[in-house]
A = this chain, B = another copy of it.
Amino acid sequence: MQISLSPEKVIKVTQPLSQRGGTSCTIERIVPLADAVEGDLSFLREKKFSDDLTSTGASIVFVPEDCPVEPGENQLFLYFENPSVGLARLCSMLQKMLRPRPVPGVHPTAVIAQGCRIPESVTVGPYCIIEDGCTIGEDSVLEAHVFIGRNSSLGEGCRLMPQVTVMDGTRLGDRVALHSGVVIGSDGFGYDSDGSGHSKIPQIGGVVIGDDVEIGAGTTIDRARFSDTVIGEGTKIDNLVQVGHNVRIGRHCILCAQVGIAGSTVLGDFVILGGQVGIAGHLTLGSGVQAGAQSGIGRNLEPKSYVFGSPAVPYMLRQKIIVLQKRLPDLFRRVDKIEADLEKAFEKGSESE
């Protein structure tokens, strides 16, 4: 990231509530407070970390309104209700500058079947392949090496990064973002097994992805056996996540990296799954369920359950188990001692009888 911003430009873009101090430096980097030197912009997340301010070399710092520290020499403090929002404004502007939307148009090397509907506002990058019967919405961008299988449709303003695979019969809503290596619509994992082996159950369903869904690099989402695998509007999925066939994920869920969800499981809305969580098949998790990282979920969960552990139990119970497990060596010693004491006492007892 190479940037060059005057203090005036920073103020103009981020619109702070107020400012103190001043700097003559051009901003060339945005870095955490601890790493910041002259020419850097940084920010203080919360008042309670104010001590970090006194030693920072940053030329501009975004601080909360109630920040008690004064700017040093040649240092500019900009005050925000929420410094993170100020930073987001700055980064949005920089993003457009550093990573501009590609120019609309179809690269001459793209292989596009006849009968596809691709508006002029769409960008199709080099070596993309779009099979027959596909529809691409206005302003969508397909970066390089993207594959779109037959009879798929993309909404408006979608962004498919390089090396994305969208298999046949997939339907994406508007503003869907798919990062590199994502595979949508691979066959579900279903076989009829007997003593001689496993015969494949045909997987003829599709995948339907709602508006404003974002899916991280290398994530795989299988097509349904029949009907559809569904990802609800606004849901955000991190990298290397596995979503099995016929899974239905609600709206505005958060799935952290390396989560795995087995076939036919249903998630409500606003479900949050920590990294590496695994969920068995054919379950129902109510809206608002939260599961801590590495949890293993093998039962249905009521809405707003907060679970943790493998197998997952209520969060507070899990915390107790974690503490008590560490005290197991001590507990065994205590029980050993009790038994020894009792044996002695009973011996004594029988002697005295």
Contacts and interface: CB of A to CB of B under 8 A. Distances in A.
Interface of A: 1-2, 29-32, 35, 84-85, 87-88, 91-92, 94-95, 98-99, 107, 109, 111, 125-127, 129, 143-145, 147, 149-151, 161-163, 165, 167-169, 177, 179-181, 183, 186-187, 189, 191-193, 196-198, 200-206, 212, 214, 216-218, 220, 222, 225-228, 234, 236, 238-240, 242, 244, 251-252, 254, 256-258, 260, 262, 275-276, 278, 280, 293-294, 296, 298, 310-311, 313, 317, 320-322, 324-329, 331-332, 334-335, 338-339, 341-342, 345-346, 349
A294 B293 contact: no
A176 to B, nearest CB: 13
Given A147-B144, A214-B200, A257 B260 contact: yes
6 contacts: A1-B228, A32-B227, A197-B251, A242-B258, A317-B329, A334-B335
User: How many identical subunits does the complex contain?
Assistant: 3
B186 A183 contact: no
A322 B329 CA distance: 10
Contacts of A225: 91
Contacts of A129: 125-127, 144-145, 162
Given A147-B163, A240-B242, 15 more contacts: A1-B204, A35-B227, A91-B204, A91-B226, A165-B217, A242-B258, A244-B257, A256-B262, A257-B260, A258-B258, A294-B294, A294-B296, A325-B328, A334-B339, A338-B342
A226 B32 CA distance: 9
Closest 4 CB pairs of A and B: A186-B217, A30-B226, A91-B202, A217-B220
Contacts of A262: 256-257, 275, 293
Nearest to A212: B197
Contacts of A310: 294, 310
A324 B336 CA distance: 13
B181 A252 contact: no
A95 B180 contact: no
A331 to B, nearest CB: 6
Contacts of A296: 276, 293-294
A254 B189 CA distance: 10
Contacts of A275: 242, 260, 262, 278, 280
A225 B92 CA distance: 11
Contacts of A214: 187, 200
A165 to B, nearest CB: 4
Nearest to A189: B238
B335 A335 contact: yes
Contacts of A222: 216-217, 239
Nearest to A327: B332
Contacts of A186: 161, 179-180, 216-217, 239
A44 to B, nearest CB: 15
Given A88-B201, A126-B129, A342-B341, A227 B1 contact: yes
Contact of A145 (B145, B242, B334): B145
Contacts of A107: 111
